[in-house]
Amino acid sequence: MPTLYTRTWSFKDSLSDAEVLAWWRWATMEVIPAIEKTNGTRSVKIYSGAGALRADISILWEMDDASVYERALTSPELRPILARIYDGWDLKTAAQSFRREVTPELIQALSSTG
């Protein structure tokens, strides 16, 4: 079932502007391409809100199903990347969600009329 994973965060206040800039360069040049190579990934993009690239940031990862995320967590290639991703985030303000795509098949499966 098509799934959208969303993670929203802000960077730690203790990070300098140079550290945040280095994170962004690394994320766009290494992280996004690595996630895109994960089997079952449809797309992955990072968006910034009104926080000047330091806050109100979201990653949207569209995948074939939620198991893609679980496999990524245990992937030897992605585990070190994921650990580094989280290192600069203020996890006290971070949030995540999984959303499944509403399709005719899902509606049929969840309907009481069979």
Mean pLDDT per 10-residue section of the chain, whose length is 114 residues: 95 96 96 95 95 92 95 90 91 95 88 71
Number of structural domains (the chain) is 1
- pLDDT of res. 113: 67
Side-chain half-sphere CA neighbours of 62 within 13 A? 5
* CATH, residue 75: 3.30.70.100
- pLDDT of res. 40: 98
Three state DSSP letters for 37-106: CCCCEEEEEEEEEEECCCEEEEEEEEECCCHHHHHHHHCCCCHHHHHHHHHCECCCCCEEEEEECCCHHH
Q: How far apart are CA 100 and CA 48, in angstroms?
A: 23
User: For the whole model, what pTM was predicted?
Assistant: 0.87
Structural domain of residue 103, as residue ranges?
A: 3-110
